[in-house]
């Protein structure tokens, strides 16, 4: 625009410079310099009476007023037309200036718009990049979501599979448990039949044999250790003679029945062996091994392990009635234990022996169990001894067997520890577990014959016995 203005000014100058002589009375010589001096007029001009002027126009910018001869009318009209032309040019100049200003502002506007456009372009590029990034992110998220969904699906399928397997195993376990129960019942029936046969076919030879369970192997030499010779093959219950299917003990020849082994001891029976007992208030007779030598004697043995010859993974009914061999491994029976300990204040002694022959014991100054209606709950007194106390944790706990879960654990502790016990969650001791030879054993569960305070839970003891006598 500035160029245009300059050009216009130049044009104006030229118009003025070149046009004036012509308009105002130009010299006849077209090549005459504008900066010429006044010449004498021509003869012809002189003749016609006309004035001839030569204007000295500075070569610089046009400054000051133009000298126009107004002497003549013609020149006046030329000057008027020149003024008109000048006004027109000025007007044009103004127009151009206005246009210049307008265009200048437009140029500014365009520049601002361009700048804005540039920044908008940058912003658009930025937004596009961001959008692209988000699209990629979203795609990644979709892929990740699909992957997680697939994993979830797999896990669900596996969970269903495991659940189904678990149900199947549960069914199998139930079937096995019922099979064990029916087999035990069958064994008990067989034992009963054998006892009946022995009674009817009693002979001197059979009278001297110890009538043990047929699934147990008892060395014949042990029979000689018995105090009396067995003449009555089975224990009897006064009111229910068929109430003892799981254990069969020979009766001794010693007089009785005694209230307990202490009673027998007090009556002069100082040799350890099998004695016939009848607890006060109980309407049943029972037999038990009396230990008349350990710790001043008078101990009624309620449980014994020594060679692994008897299976202790048994049902509630079997733990209730007792099982095993009186001169070997056996469990006296919870019902018998209940009647015995109901008589008076008893104490409990647990005798333990490891595979190196080291013997220790744990005594509790009070011991009794609640009736079956309270699941033969254990009530225990203060501990003393050198074996360590691994039974007080079980105090006030109900008895649990493989078919009757009364423990505080979510599962059945008897299943894992392979025997009935006063389980808590689950045990610091279990003397009714699996009898492992050699001490330390490897098993998936802690299911040995153990007393945690003596050699820990993964050491199966060689000999253990639980015995009671009046405190
Ligand atoms: Ca349980």
| Local confidence pLDDT in tens for the 471 residues of the chain | 445 555 555 555 555 545 444 444 444 444 444 444 444 444 444 445 565 656 565 565 555 555 555 556 778 888 888 888 888 898 888 888 888 888 888 888 889 999 999 999 999 999 999 999 999 999 999 999 999 999 998 898 888 888 888 888 887 887 787 777 777 777 777 767 766 665 544 433 333 223 333 333 333 333 333 333 332 223 333 333 333 445 444 545 567 799 999 999 999 999 999 999 999 988 889 999 999 999 999 999 999 999 999 999 999 999 999 999 999 999 999 999 999 999 999 999 999 999 999 999 999 999 999 999 999 999 999 999 999 999 999 999 999 999 999 999 999 999 999 999 999 999 999 999 999 999 999 999 999 999 999 999 999 999 999 999 999
In whole angstroms, give the CA distance from residue 230 to residue 241. Answer: 19
Q: Return the percent helix, strand and coil in the chain, to nearest 5.
A: 45, 15, 40
pLDDT tens digit string along 128-171? 999 999 999 999 999 999 999 999 988 988 888 888 888 888 87
Q: What is the pLDDT at residue 160?
A: 86
In whole angstroms, give the CA distance from residue 167 to residue 439. Answer: 36
* Distance between Cα 416 and ligand 1 center (Å): 11
* Distance between Cα 425 and ligand 1 center (Å): 8
Q: What is the pLDDT at residue 182?
A: 73
* Distance between Cα 421 and ligand 1 center (Å): 12
Strand 286-291 with 273-277, pairing: antiparallel
Strand 463-470 with 450-451, pairing: unpaired
Q: Write the DSSP symbol of residue 457.
A: T
In whole angstroms, give the CA distance from residue 181 to residue 316. Answer: 10
Assigned token pair, 227 = 């105090």
* Distance between Cα 184 and ligand 1 center (Å): 23
Q: What is the pLDDT at residue 237?
A: 35
* Distance between Cα 327 and ligand 1 center (Å): 33
* Distance between Cα 293 and ligand 1 center (Å): 39
* Distance between Cα 444 and ligand 1 center (Å): 19
Q: What is the pLDDT at residue 175?
A: 78
* Distance between Cα 415 and ligand 1 center (Å): 10
Which residues crowd ion ligand 1, with CB under 5 Å? 405, 407, 409
Question: What is the distance of C-alpha 89 from the center of its chain?
Answer: 96
Q: What is the pLDDT at residue 77?
A: 84
The answer to whether the beta carbons of residues 257 and 235 sit under 8 Å apart is no
Q: Which residues of 255-271 are buried (b: 16+ CB within 10 A; e: fewer)?
A: ebbbbbbbbbbeeebeb
In whole angstroms, give the CA distance from residue 387 to residue 406. Answer: 27
* Distance between Cα 471 and ligand 1 center (Å): 33
* Distance between Cα 62 and ligand 1 center (Å): 122
* Distance between Cα 40 and ligand 1 center (Å): 148
In whole angstroms, give the CA distance from residue 219 to residue 215. Answer: 13
* Distance between Cα 404 and ligand 1 center (Å): 9
In whole angstroms, give the CA distance from residue 305 to residue 461. Answer: 9
Q: Angle at Cα 19 formed by Cα 17 and Cα 21, nearest 5°? A: 85
The answer to whether the beta carbons of residues 364 and 382 sit under 8 Å apart is yes
- Residue 299, strand partner residues: 291
* Distance between Cα 423 and ligand 1 center (Å): 9
In whole angstroms, give the CA distance from residue 221 to residue 59. Answer: 159
* Distance between Cα 408 and ligand 1 center (Å): 5
Total residues found in the chain within this entry: 471
CA torsion angle 73 76 80 83 (round to 10): 170
The answer to whether the beta carbons of residues 467 and 349 sit under 8 Å apart is yes
* Distance between Cα 394 and ligand 1 center (Å): 14
């Amino acid at each position: 625009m500035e160029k245009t203005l300059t050009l216009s000014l130049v044009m104006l100058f030229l118009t003025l410079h070149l046009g004036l002589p012509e308009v105002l009375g130009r010299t006849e010589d077209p090549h005459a310099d504008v900066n010429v001096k006044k010449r004498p007029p021509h003869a012809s001009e002189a003749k016609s009476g006309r004035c001839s002027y030569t204007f000295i126009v500075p070569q610089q910018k046009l400054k000051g007023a133009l000298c126009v001869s107004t002497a003549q009318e013609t020149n006046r009209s030329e000057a008027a037309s020149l003024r008109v032309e000048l006004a027109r040019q000025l007007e044009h100049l103004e127009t151009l200036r206005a246009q210049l200003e307008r265009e200048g502002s437009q140029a500014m506007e365009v520049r601002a718009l361009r700048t804005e456009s540039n920044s908008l372009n940058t912003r658009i590029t930025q937004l596009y990049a961001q959008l692209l990034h988000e699209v990629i992110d979203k795609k990644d998220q979709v892929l990740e979501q699909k992957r997680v969904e697939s994993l979830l699906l797999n896990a669900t399928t596996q969970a269903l599979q495991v659940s189904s397997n678990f149900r199947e195993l549960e069914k199998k376990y139930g079937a096995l448990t019922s099979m064990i129960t029916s087999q035990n019942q069958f064994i008990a029936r067989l034992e009963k039949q054998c006892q009946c046969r022995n009674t009817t076919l009693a002979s001197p030879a059979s009278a001297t044999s110890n009538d043990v369970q047929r699934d147990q192997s008892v060395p014949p030499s042990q029979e000689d250790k018995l105090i009396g010779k067995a003449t009555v093959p089975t224990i009897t219950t006064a009111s229910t003679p068929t109430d003892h299917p799981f254990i069969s003990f020979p009766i001794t020849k010693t007089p009785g029945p005694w209230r307990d082994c202490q009673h027998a001891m007090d009556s002069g029976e100082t040799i350890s062996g099998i004695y016939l007992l009848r607890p006060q208030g109980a309407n049943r007779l029972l037999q038990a091994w009396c230990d008349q030598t350990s710790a001043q004697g008078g101990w009624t043995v309620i449980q014994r392990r020594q060679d692994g010859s008897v299976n202790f993974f048994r049902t509630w009914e079997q733990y209730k009635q007792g099982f095993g061999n009186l001169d070997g491994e056996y469990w006296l029976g919870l019902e018998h234990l209940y009647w015995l300990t109901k008589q008076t204040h008893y104490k409990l002694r647990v005798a333990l022996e490891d595979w190196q022959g080291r013997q220790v014991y744990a005594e509790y100054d009070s011991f009794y169990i609640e009736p079956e209606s309270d699941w033969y709950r254990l009530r225990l007194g203060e501990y003393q001894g050198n074996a360590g106390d691994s039974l007080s944790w079980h105090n006030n706990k109900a008895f649990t067997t493989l078919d009757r879960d009364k423990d505080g654990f979510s599962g059945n502790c008897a299943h894992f520890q392979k025997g009935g016990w006063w389980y808590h969650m689950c045990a610091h001791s279990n003397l009714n577990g699996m009898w492992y030879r050699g001490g330390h054993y490897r098993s998936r569960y802690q299911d040995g014959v153990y007393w945690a305070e003596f050699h820990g839970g993964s050491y199966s003891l060689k000999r253990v016995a639980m015995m009671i006598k009046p405190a």
